[in-house]
Amino acid sequence: MKRILPLLLLAALTACRTGTPTAADAQALVDKAEAESFDLAHEAGQASWVAANFITQDTEALSAKAAERSVNAAVRYAKEAARFDNVQLPPELARKIKLLKLSLTLPAPSDPKDAAEMTRLAAALEAAYGKGKYCPGGDPSKCLNIDDITKIMASSRDPKQLLDAWSGWHTVAPPMKKDFVRLVEITNKGAKELGFSDTGALWRSQYDMPPDEFAKELDRLWAQVKPLYDQLHAYARWKLREKYGKDAVPENGPIPAHLLGNIWAQQWDNLYPILAPAGADPGYDLSSILKQRKTDPIQMVKYGEAFFTSLGFAPLPQTFWERSLFVRPRDRDVVCHASAWDVDNIDDLRIKMCIDITADDFNTIHHELGHNFYQRAYNKQSMSFRNSANDGFHEAIGDTIALSITPEYLVKLGFIQKAPDPSKDLGLLLRRALDKVAFLPFGLLIDQWRWKVYSGQITPEQYNKAWWELRLKYQGIAPPSARGEEFFDPGAKYHVPANVPYTRYFLAHILQFQFHKSLSELAGCKDPVHRCSIYQSQEAGKRLDEMLQMGQSKPWQDALEKVTGTRQMDGNSVRAYFKPLEDWLIEQNKGKPVGW
């Protein structure tokens, strides 16, 4: 049912548009925006859920239409909020107005033609990526989508096949470049109308600090973790050189991008069999244990829920069990990518997963439920504040919980009789570092490139050159073949054509280790931090819940302080977690080049 606003509120909104804006006008705008966004978010959530679980042309169209209504409202309110830039407002109201302005990823200009073109371009770019295929030899019967390419990159050890798959996937991007260039022009126009120098400055303004200061903060964090990354890079390089030969991998230069087990070289955990330390087998296989115990998908989720209830959180609502998707249906296609949902922004919590009885899915369930418990914790906040402290926090919370899936946790569940000897930790730490530490520079450079594109520092004539310069600078990797400006290699990564900000993932990979360290101390853990689990710690759970309940009502520094006691993000927590591994890597790399 459509909300009917009181005549007084309508009058206030009219004054806001025609006269000198006041604090009362700002409050009226926020009240209207919160009421409408609550309804629109619920509608969009339901439509999106149906579209993901009953894939048809009709459900896709209904979901798109509901999403469009939400986006249009966000654009409208962001433009109105910009009128209050120079108005003195109470702190909470000022924060809500600011969040209205910052709610857009792609700010549409006021010109209807530009706005329509922006919407069309954004949809076309995402669709172009989604339809992307590489057809070896031009044979349509042999076409490979990104899932096929991902499997080849993960499992193949044939450098020719890897090069072919890598080069082939990157052919999907060049046709996107023209639309991307135009989209940058249009969104920058919209950002300037909101008072920002460009779209990148708008994105960086979402972090409760001046945009340039936030950029410097990222540089500081990267400098803290880079020594660990450098050691991991050096070790991977000489092991790959042993595997593929001196002609394939240089002794002291960048690693060829196609040899790292991932199409974007963003995570290297698929290389673990090549890089594993001798004698590092922990002596148990969680996937086998789960299957031997005849664990079913519901029980997998029950284990995850029990982790949170052991911390003092209330159980999930009954509707969670009735409405979630746990197994792949036999009668229809569904989107199986694991995700956590808060459909009504109150307590209609759900997960959508096609659960396999594996260690990976056991970890993923704990991660996804981290989102759900965060969503429920902040549901008493105003609608404006029902979100994580910043966009890195939501991912970090789920990952923090997953870091507590330690051998000690498995002992408490009765899965294993005793934790493996600490000498076995190197394998567990290396596997995790190939996932988490290897990701850090990639998580940083995506937006480093985009921010320079939005500001004009990188022009369309330099897109590819600048892209590979950043990948060399941060990751120490190089393309396997010459890549001129006829290519558009950034477009081969989904988040670029889909216009999804990426710095959140870098922040999450820093924050999760900082949270884990502090919560482990609250839990009284005396073991090395990588061995700590906060399972059953009411004290850690209480402090975590206090932070989660804050939502986005305060600057993220306040939320961080609630758990860690500090207002500054700290990459040294990553180093502390992986210290035994870093010491071992330094020993392994003695006499070998480090850096590139």
Partners of residue 341 on adjacent β-strands: 350
For 289, the token pair is 């244990």
Q: What does pLDDT average to over the chain? A: 92
Angstrom distance (rounded) from CA 242 to CA 236: 10
- 546-581 residue pLDDT tens: 999 999 999 999 999 999 999 999 999 999 999 999
pLDDT at 485: 96
pLDDT at 8: 35
pLDDT higher than threshold 80 for residue 498: yes
pLDDT at 532: 96
Q: Label residue 481 by pLDDT band (50, 70, 90).
A: very high
Q: What is the number of other CB atoms lying within 10 angstroms of the CB of residue 227?
A: 14
- 461-478 residue pLDDT tens: 999 999 999 999 999 999
For the chain, domain boundaries = 7-101
In this predicted model, which residue has the larger pLDDT, 282 or 215?
215
Q: What angle do CA 594, 568, 476 make, to 5 degrees?
A: 20
Angstrom distance (rounded) from CA 33 to CA 329: 38
pLDDT higher than threshold 70 for residue 7: no
What SS3 state is found at 311?
coil
Q: Label residue 147 by pLDDT band (50, 70, 90).
A: confident
Q: Label residue 63 by pLDDT band (50, 70, 90).
A: confident
pLDDT at 445: 97
pLDDT higher than threshold 70 for residue 9: no
128-163: burial string, b at 16+ Cβ within 10 Å, e else: bbeebbbeeeeeeeeebebeebbebbeebeebeebb
Q: Label residue 278 by pLDDT band (50, 70, 90).
A: confident
Q: Label residue 247 by pLDDT band (50, 70, 90).
A: very high
pTM: 0.91
Angstrom distance (rounded) from CA 520 to CA 539: 10
Q: What angle do CA 391, 575, 533 make, to 5 degrees?
A: 75
- 530-555 residue pLDDT tens: 999 999 999 999 999 999 999 999 99
pLDDT at 333: 77
What is the arithmetic mean of pLDDT over 379-396?
95
Residue % of the chain over a pLDDT of 90? 77
pLDDT at 207: 96
Torsion angle in degrees (nearest 10) through CA of 116, 117, 123, 129? 180
Which own/partner pairs from 405-409 qualify as long-range (CB within 8 Å, at least 24 positions apart)?
Answer: 405/362, 405/363, 405/366, 405/533, 406/530, 406/531, 406/532, 406/533, 407/282, 407/284, 407/531, 408/527, 408/531, 408/532, 408/533, 409/533, 409/535
Phi, psi (rounded to 5 degrees) for 314:
-70, 150
Give the helix/strand (H/E) hosting 545: helix 538-550
pLDDT at 458: 98
Residue % of the chain over a pLDDT of 70? 97
Q: Among residues 80, 368, 395, 582, which one is catalytic?
A: 368
Q: Catalytic site residue 368?
A: yes
Angstrom distance (rounded) from CA 271 to CA 265: 11
What is the arithmetic mean of pLDDT over 94-121?
89
Q: Catalytic site residue 495?
A: yes
pLDDT at 81: 92
Q: Label residue 124 by pLDDT band (50, 70, 90).
A: confident
Contact 148, 248 (CB under 8 A): no
Contact 305, 316 (CB under 8 A): yes
Q: Among residues 92, 469, 495, 561, which one is catalytic?
A: 495
- 35-50 residue pLDDT tens: 999 999 999 899 888 8
Q: Label residue 423 by pLDDT band (50, 70, 90).
A: confident
- 292-337 residue pLDDT tens: 999 999 999 999 999 999 999 999 999 999 999 999 888 887 777 7
pLDDT at 84: 93
pLDDT at 332: 81
Angstrom distance (rounded) from CA 560 to CA 29: 30
Q: Label residue 416 by pLDDT band (50, 70, 90).
A: very high
- 64-74 residue pLDDT tens: 788 778 878 88
Phi, psi (rounded to 5 degrees) for 478:
-140, 155
